Structure 1
Amino acid sequence: MWETIRRAFKLKELRQRIYFTLFLFILFRLGTYIPVVGIDRAQISNLLSQGGFLALMDLFSGGGYTNFSIFALSVFPYINASIILQLLSYVIPSLEALVREGGEEGQRKMAQYTRYLTVALAALQAFSVIVIFRNYLVNQSILLKLVIMASLIAGSYLVLWLGEIMTDRGIGNGVSLIIFAGIISRIPVSFVEIGQKLSAQAVSFASVIGEFLAFVVLLVLVIFAYQSERRIPVQYAKRIVGRKVYGGQTTYIPLRLVQAGVLPIIFAVSFMAFPATIGQFFPNSWFTKHIAQPIFGTPTSISYNLIYFFLIVGFTFFYTEMTYDPIKLADDLKKYGGFIPGIRPGEPTAQYIASVLRKITLPTSIFLGLVAVIPNLVFRKMTITSFVFGGTSLLIIIGVALETMREVEAYLLMRQYEGFLK
């Protein structure tokens, strides 16, 4: 890894992309400290210290709710908009045709629809934030509430713009990197809190060491899962073109165990926060008292983690199906004279690849789900109660870091090809 980083900084264009990404990180962090007017942030900070789904959202926004900044909503309206449109593309034929057959123009249209829906969801979420924190406003005037809503909506769209610019001109997926930056920024705060507990003798040093060792073991297992792959052997038949013989070599198709990357985790978190947000509109309703608050508003409850587990499994399968096309891969193999030993080319090859993909996705999705929920369930017995050291944060940090490193390596391979004249 260190060798890859050293080579990356030697290449001017890649070095500029890395510096640009770091610059956008700084802008994002500065934005989390620009406060929205008209609200008592000290009381909000005390409320968030009690835990719950708002504390989890504060983690992913990089402290945006603690400071009640213009970036408090972060990228979650955009993520929810992406989920809704991608699910609708399987229901509405025109959207499905736009995704599958629209090409570059279709992608541009879908991106445009996603932005429109992001603004609408940001307005809905900003209104819910005002409802949640209505008792902490300096006054109850409509003008102040409109100013707060406008600030939060503009901040959410600005974060989306930073993510898109980061994807185009930086390194990695901008939206994932913004969530990554938010989690990483809270690690020093968590260490300070642990140090304060040790100083006050609220926790024992041995328990903290034991939990850190468990965290390291979990870290190694997650890295192993993200880096592992299932290799399908491929044989290329010999072809004679003129006086030359092509093919005849044996290679393999690498199928990563975590094919969908970190997006299923991020989408599952966003989906779990949505009912609790809606419940704030109707604080005295049956939905809020029996579903939104006890189930979706308590990240350490069994019901919350059970639903969260199945969402991770479902989204992992969903995104694996979206990002990997066995039919296209089988057609490409057939076109270039490749075949899997013992499997006929064409449709049987596509079915075989799809079968292997499903077999490796099922245990991997279950593993990711368990990593995400088990730390949440034992939080009540842990001395380190920060969400930073939870399974969800761990999965996002490792997933985004590894995907970014793969993109850097691919960029190096593409830019440092020396050709035959060297």
Structure 2
Amino acid sequence: MFQTFRNAWKIPELRNRLLFTLAILVVYRLGCAIPVPFVTGSALTQMFSNGNMLTYLDMMSGGALSRCTIFALGVTPYINASIIVQLLCVAIPSLEAMAKEPDGQQKIQQITRYVGGGIALVMSIGYYFVVRSMGALKYTSGAAGIFCALVIILSFTAGAQLITWCGEQIDDKGIGNGLSLLIFASVVSHWSSLYSTVTGMLTRAAAGEPQFYFYLPLLVVLALAVIVFIVIMTNAERRITIQYAKRVVGRKQMGGQNTYLPLKLNMSGVMPIIFASALVSIPGTIGSFLNLDPAEHPIWSAFFNTFNYTSFAYIVIYLLLILLFNFFYVTIQYNPVEIANNLRRNNGSIPGFRPGKPTSDFITRTLNKITMVGALFLAAVAVLPIILGNLTGMSIQLGGTSMLIVVGVALDTTRSLDSFMMMRNHKGFLG
């Protein structure tokens, strides 16, 4: 990976793209440090130290949510909008037809922006009431209170839309994977709390809990093992042999070679975990926004507490959503019938299977097996740290998710740079 970045830096075009991407990331991190007006951030510390679902949203924003900055909402509104629009494309035929048009993806992306803006507005209003209920506002009544509310809500909404624009600029003028790189920067910056976690474990060990002397090196070994496991599983693929028949075109004989159809084990990357986390966090986030008294609203309080990320129900729902979104993403990306038809049109076939339906059935069965293994891999990385954290009492529930995001985005960025360098090195052959 480091060799790839070193080689990319030697190419002027790629160096400019890397510098542009770095500049956008710097702007993003600066926005995560600029607080919105009229808010006292120190009053929110207790709310984000209780281990509720806002902890996940705070990680996705790089700590901007707990500090109440202009980028407090992070990429969560756009991610939720992407989930909604993609599900609607499957459910509504007109949207599905629009997505297949030549400029359909641009229209879908525009719709996603509008939906993301609406979600950002709703989340901004909800977060304003949370900040208000925590006593973190300077003005809460009269004309000053109304003006304060408008400034805070509009700042959060505009910040979320600006983040979306920054991600699109990285896609257009940078090295790609714009939103993924912003999430990467947020997660890495959130790892700055690792020092306080280690010192906290050592303090507890010195205070009479010697098991933490064993837990600390164990966590280091597990972290290294998880990184190796993620890299191996992310790069793993199933290669289906494709054989092309010989044919004569004019005086030339074409075809006759063998190639393969690569099916990656983790085709959807980290997106199923991000989508599942965003979706399962909605009830807990609403509960945090409402801040209900358990004595007055016992039923609703019990319902929202069910979605606390330490509960058994949360683990089960989280796991099922990861499986669902992984299959959903693979279904969108791969159409076995279309692949089989393309092979038949190009005189290609899979040895041992007739062209047409037998080929598509074989590809479907293979995809289902690979998708299930990939989904179980994602679920294991995301869920096992939650279980381990519940058993040991350590706050590592989000460790697997954040590690998968960081490693996955790093590998995707490396592949993007390799693609850019390959296009440059073969520019004379391509045109």
**TM bin (shorter chain):** over 0.9
Conserved? CA contact 1:56–1:387, under 8 Å: no
**Could you say which residue in structure 2 is the equivalent of 1:28?**
28
Higher mean alpha-carbon deviation, 271-280 vs 64-73, is at 271-280
Deviations 1:75-123 (CA, angstroms, capped at 9, x unpaired): 11111111111111122221121113x222x222211111111111111
Instruction: Write the distance in 2 (CA, Å) between the matches of 1:244 and 1:77.
Output: 56
TM-score, normalized by length of structure 1?
Answer: 0.93
**Could you say which residue in structure 2 is the equivalent of 1:408?**
417
Within a 5 Å distance, the mapping from 1:25-174 to structure 2 comes to 25-100=25-100, 102-104=101-103, 106-134=104-132, 135=134, 136-140=136-140, 141-174=145-178
Conserved? CA contact 1:207–1:383, under 8 Å: no
**Could you say which residue in structure 2 is the equivalent of 1:175?**
179
Instruction: Write the distance in 2 (CA, Å) between the matches of 1:380 and 1:241.
Output: 66
**Is structure 2 residue 322 aligned with structure 1 residue 312?**
yes
**Could you say which residue in structure 2 is the equivalent of 1:343?**
353
**Is structure 2 residue 250 aligned with structure 1 residue 242?**
yes
The size of the alignment, in residue pairs, is: 416
Conserved? CA contact 1:260–1:316, under 8 Å: yes
TM-superposed deviation, 1:380: 3.3
**Could you say which residue in structure 1 is the equivalent of 2:310?**
300
CA pair 331-417 structure 1, distance change in 2 beyond 3 A: same
**Could you say which residue in structure 2 is the equivalent of 1:16?**
16
Instruction: Write the distance in 2 (CA, Å) between the matches of 1:331 and 1:268.
Output: 33
TM-superposed deviation, 1:383: 6.7
Deviations 1:22-59 (CA, angstroms, capped at 9, x unpaired): 11111111101000122221121232123221122111
| Counterpart amino acid of residue 184 in structure 2 | F
Instruction: Write the distance in 1 (CA, Å) between the matches of 2:30 and 2:219.
Output: 32
Deviations 1:125-162 (CA, angstroms, capped at 9, x unpaired): 01111222222222312221221101100111111111
**Is structure 2 residue 389 aligned with structure 1 residue 385?**
no
Instruction: Write the distance in 1 (CA, Å) between the matches of 2:429 and 2:54.
Output: 58
TM-superposed deviation, 1:68: 0.9
Instruction: Write the distance in 2 (CA, Å) between the matches of 1:73 and 1:355.
Output: 40
CA pair 149-418 structure 1, distance change in 2 beyond 3 A: closer
**Could you say which residue in structure 1 is the equivalent of 2:215?**
207
**Is structure 2 residue 200 aligned with structure 1 residue 191?**
no
| Counterpart amino acid of residue 291 in structure 1 | F
Q: What's the % identity of the aligned pairs?
A: 41
What is the root-mean-square deviation of aligned Cα atoms in Å?
A: 2.1
TM-superposed deviation, 1:311: 0.4
Within a 5 Å distance, the mapping from 1:225-304 to structure 2 comes to 225-280=233-288, 282-284=290-292, 288-292=300-304, 294-296=305-307, 298-304=308-314
**Is structure 2 residue 337 aligned with structure 1 residue 324?**
no
Conserved? CA contact 1:59–1:387, under 8 Å: no
TM-superposed deviation, 1:287: 6.5
TM-superposed deviation, 1:281: 5.4
Conserved? CA contact 1:180–1:396, under 8 Å: yes
TM-superposed deviation, 1:67: 1.6
| Counterpart amino acid of residue 115 in structure 1 | R
**SS in structure 2 at match of 1:235:** strand
**SS in structure 2 at match of 1:261:** coil
Structure 2's unaligned 5+ residue stretches are none
Higher mean alpha-carbon deviation, 222-231 vs 44-53, is at 44-53
Instruction: Write the distance in 2 (CA, Å) between the matches of 1:287 and 1:110.
Output: 39
Higher mean alpha-carbon deviation, 199-208 vs 335-344, is at 199-208
Instruction: Write the distance in 2 (CA, Å) between the matches of 1:419 and 1:164.
Output: 29
Instruction: Write the distance in 2 (CA, Å) between the matches of 1:338 and 1:143.
Output: 67
Instruction: Write the distance in 2 (CA, Å) between the matches of 1:286 and 1:88.
Output: 35
